[in-house]
Structure 1
Amino acid sequence: MADHPALNLLIAGEALSGGGRDSHEVIDPATGETIGSVPHATAADLDRALEAAERGFKTWRNTSADQRTAILLKAAALIRDRAASIGEALTREQGKPIKEAIGETIYCAMLLEFYAQEIKRIYGRTLVRPVGQRVEVQYHPVGPVAGFAAWNFPSLNVMRKIGGALAAGCSTIVKPSEETPSAGIALVQACIDAGVPGDAVQCVFGVPDEVSRHLLASPIIRKVTFTGSTAVGKHLAKLAAEDLKIATMELGGHAPVMIFADADIDAALDTMTANAYRNAGQVCVSPTRFLIEEPVFERFRDGFVERAKAIKVGSGFDKDTQMGPMASARGLERMEQMIGDAKERGAKLLAGGERIGNQGFFHQPTVLAEVPTDATIMNEEPFGPIALLNPMAGEDAMIEEANRLPYGLAAYAWTKDSARKRRLAAEVEAGMLALDTGSVSAADAPFGGVKWSGYGSEDGREGVMACMVPKTVHEG
């Protein structure tokens, strides 16, 4: 395996490390070993990044649409060319299977390709007025954007922070997770190599609260965008509100999966079992609460358990691996606490439930059934390789339970009844609903939630427009 890539800040187009800066050790979750360290930006570094972002905004917003499109398409091509090496480093830092890591990085290129073309589809409008009067609605880039990305999708989360902003004409400062830094650095470097000014796209690291407070305290930053937990999202939203910065918050979830008696049970099992343990369950849209209509509960339960037990867990570099390790020791500890609490309250452990070995952060794919609603795991996002299976009386009860929590990111349902699908689309409280499929994400479709799962959208046209502000021009 090649040496791990250099880890550095990218400020004003310059790679920075050392210099007496503090640093954060990067751990391989498959072995528990240190594989590198990423430097923390100093206060002076952050001030320099802010000054550069202000300069970069003036330059990038005035770059023609054709030029910006060409540059972003070139960046996407570079990301495709580098996807294997980016994916390898990503797997070493985060643990997911190498195929998933490379696929995630290629998806970043796809998203950037969509955003590049969307640059030419930013339309205003002219309102109807009497002769001699004119009113135009124009859209302008909001200004420098600060983005904060989570560790579970180290490539995609970063691209969602910088892609739409760059397409809109904004400059960006992104802070990837210190635990999984290499992919974010590589994506920002690809943009710079393609021709985005180094002042317009920058990458910093540091103690999260210190970096966020420093950046958001500056009037230079006009928007904040964040992927992560609801608790941290609320904190950042408060910081943004102090200066009335606009915000996009993609926060936690606890996705319900409604399995109706008329569903294609085998298709639902094959799709949703794989989804439940994808990335060791460390996915904000992971299907977690399975609400199964009583007539098919036992069949679905038994089929799910059989498939969960067959999942191959191992190193992300093993070609047969279907699920890698959890990303950190704290994830293992949270799983142990939640499973223990659920069992004490009467839940039935049908598969897994324990750590695998004592090297790295591996955990068994786990299934709990008949979990009472007062169990912690039924109310807080587990963010681990676990599925909760409960029998339900029928549609009304399933919708009520699906909407019970304050989260509303993704939801899933399996049914052949087209009228029911329309009812679910109207009544289920979620930013994204998947009917007879496990997919809730596409480059051209908005991605985001409601309630405690956040507000605003990434991806799609909405991901660009979220970085723009309207201006109405009245002419007499």
Structure 2
Amino acid sequence: MNTTTYGPLYLFLAGEWVPADTRDTSPVVNPADGTVLGRVPLVTAADLDRALLTANAVAGTWAKTFPNERAAILRKAGELIRQRAAEIARQLTLEEGKPLGEATDEVLRAGEYFEWFAEEARRIDGRVVPSNRPGVQQLVKRQAIGPVAAFTPWNFPAITPARKLAAALAAGCPVIIKPGEESPATALALARALDDAGLPKGVLQVVFGVPDMVSAHLIASPIIRKVTFTGSVPVGRLLSARAAEGVKPITLELGGHGPVLVFNDADIEAAAVGGVANRFRGTGQVCISSTRFLIQRDVYEAFTQRFVEATLRLVVGNGLDESSQMGPLANPRQLAKMEELVADAVERGARLLAGGKRIPGPGYFFEPTVLADVPMDARVMQEEPFGPIAILHPFDTLEDGLNEANRLPYGLSAYAFTRDARTALDVGDSLEAGMIGINQYRIIATELPFGGLKESGHGSEGGAEGIGYYLTTKFISQA
């Protein structure tokens, strides 16, 4: 087993890599064995003030940097991330726990985001609007909105920061980003690539700290013009309220509870085996995961049997072990939550078909779990489990299935499996989700928008839509 060493951790302030030294720190724990990998330095209020002043100082210059020059830096950063993918992926697995293959794929896709938005930087345009008065020229321009405060979680420490950084930097905005303290090395590796690619000092700054203190301080500052957050619904509400106090736009990508509609005419093998891979990827700690498998009555038992068989074959272990298909949960809190959700569901009458308990030994491992016939009043039917629990539930008619799929306030991802073209059109139109997969689970691509509806957030990242949220529209009428 590869036991790659874990490097020192820093803040990246005003173009300087600031070590922990005598600062307050937070431990970074390897979730596979509970050992402390390192300690991440935490910012003070004075550090944040320094970061804000730096962002303000460089904002005008970076916004006026020619698009092709911004593009060249982002393209080079993407190239460096790809070159360093093996090293970054091992750091990611150590601190986050996911299997090395998943980590490598994530890092490579993070590099793709920088390459994609490098080209989008060259496509920021406006328009000339014909005037109804002689001698008047009317222009509509899109310009960088200004300094951005970005907040990202621990579960995708490469791709989530990459989506935000690549789009904001391409638009001409400086960024102060606070990644998750549980997995800091990965985000720092992206910052290192940008620094090495020639990004001007101070255009990107990376801070870690007490989340509530950092978010309150940054969002309250008049220097920050835009906020972007990926994380839980409760924190999203809090940050949205803080942004509203300063009338600042905010992009939110929050939780989900992804329904999967499996119809009688579906390819059961693809829906079940692919569903297992999708559900337990990232140990279920994936906001767009399929969670509630809603199966039409005639194929319910066949689907259930195939799904359970595939689940029981999964190999759980340290992400650095090549045989591992599912790693540990991120922390003891998630482990305890899984136990509570399973116990609650079973107590209320659910059938436990696989897993259901923590795995003895070091680390935060929990068995891949399948619950069938879960009552509607069970907690897991209301709350995003964010862990390796799959829910199987029958339905009868198309209307019944859609009603259950849309019942919760979440609207991030949804899936459907059917061979009928009319059914596919109906579910595509009727599912209340920002991202929908029909007859497939892989719905994410660099060139496509990423975002949700309802309490899963608003705004999109990725694709041609992603850069627009870092731009403001200006109308100029010149006589």
Residue 95 of structure 1 is matched in structure 2 by 97
* Distance in 2 between residues matched to 1:111 and 1:271, nearest whole Å: 25
> Could you tell me which residue of structure 1 aligns to residue 169 of structure 2?
166
1:153 aligns with 2:156: yes
The one of 328, 331, 335 aligned to 1:328? 331
Following superposition of structure 1 onto structure 2, how do residues 133-212 of structure 1 map, counting pairs within 5 Å? 133-212=136-215
**Correspondences of 1:202-351 after superposition (within 5 Å):** 202-351=205-354
Is 1:14–2:3 an aligned residue pair? no
Indicate whether 1:78 and 2:103 are aligned.
no
Structure 2 contact 62–172 (Cα < 8 Å) conserved? yes
Measure, in 1, the Cα distance between the counterparts of 2:440 and 2:195.
37
State the Cα distance separating 1:261 from its structure 2 match: 0.5
The one of 32, 45, 69 aligned to 1:30: 32
Aligned match for 1:40, one of 24, 39, 42: 42
The one-letter code matched in structure 2 to 1:57 is A
Distance 2:77 2:385 in 1: 36
Note if 1:110 corresponds to 2:112: yes
In the alignment, which of 331, 340, 356 is matched to residue 353 of structure 1? 356
Distance 1:252 1:333 in 2: 19
- Structure 1 runs (4+) greater than 4 angstroms displaced: none
Q: Which moved more, 1:11-20 or 1:299-308?
A: 11-20
Q: 2:9 touches 2:20 (CA, 8 Å); kept in 1?
A: no
- Displacement of 1:18 in angstroms is 2.9
Separation in structure 1 between the aligned mates of residue 183 and residue 230 of structure 2, nearest angstrom: 14
- The alignment partner of 1:388 has SS state of strand
1:411 aligns with: 414
Conserved 8 A contact 2:236-2:252: yes
In the superposition, relative to structure 1, how do residues 2 and 321 fare at CA in structure 2: closer, same or farther (>3 Å)? Answer: closer
Alpha-carbon distance between aligned partners in 2 of 1:374 and 1:134, rounded to the nearest angstrom: 62
Pick aligned residue for 1:61 from 47, 60, 63: 63
> TM-score scaled by structure 1?
0.99
- What is the CA-CA distance between 1:132 and the residue it aligns to? 2.0
Counterpart amino acid of residue 5 in structure 1:
G
1:209-231 superposed Cα distances (whole Å, 9 cap, x missing partner): 00001111110001110110000
What's 1:122 paired with? 124
Q: TM-score, normalised by structure 2?
A: 0.98
Pair 1:457-2:460 in alignment: yes
Q: CA RMSD in A?
A: 0.9
Count of residue pairs the alignment pairs up = 476
SS at match of 1:466: helix
Instruction: Deviation per CA, 1:382-406: give whole Å up to 9, x if none.
Output: 0000100001012100000011000
1:19 Cα deviation from its structure 2 partner: 4.4
Amino acid corresponding to residue 175 of structure 1 in structure 2: K
Conservation of the 8 A alpha-carbon contact between 1:138 and 1:470? yes
Local SS of the residue matching 1:320: coil
Tell me, yes or no, if the aligned pair for 2:4 and 2:91 is still in contact at 8 Å: no
**Partner residue in 2 for 1:368:** 371
Contact 1:148–1:161 (8 Å) recurs in 2: no
* Distance of 1:19 and 1:62 partners within structure 2: 37
CA distance in 2, matches of 1:432, 1:134: 40
Per-residue CA distance 1:388-440 (angstroms, 9 max, x = gap): 00010121000000110000000000011111111112111000110011012
Please give the alpha-carbon distance, in whole angstroms, between the structure 2 residues aligned to 1:285 and 1:390. Answer: 19
The aligned runs of 1:438-453 (5 Å cut-off) are 438-453=441-456
Deviations 1:145-167 (A, max 9, x none): 01000110011111122111001
Q: 5+ residue gaps in structure 1?
A: none
**What is the rounded CA distance, in whole Å, between the counterparts of 1:411 and 1:264 in structure 2?**
17
Q: Shift of the alpha carbon at 1:59?
A: 1.9
Find the aligned partners of 1:183 and 1:113 in 2 and give their Cα distance.
18
Aligned to 1:146, the other structure's residue is in SS state strand
Give me the whole-angstrom Cα distance separating, in 1, the residues matched to 2:319 and 2:220. Answer: 40
How far residue 263 of structure 1 moved from its aligned partner, in angstroms, is 0.6
In structure 1, what is the Cα distance between the partners aligned to 2:84 and 2:48? 28
- How many percent identity over aligned positions? 49
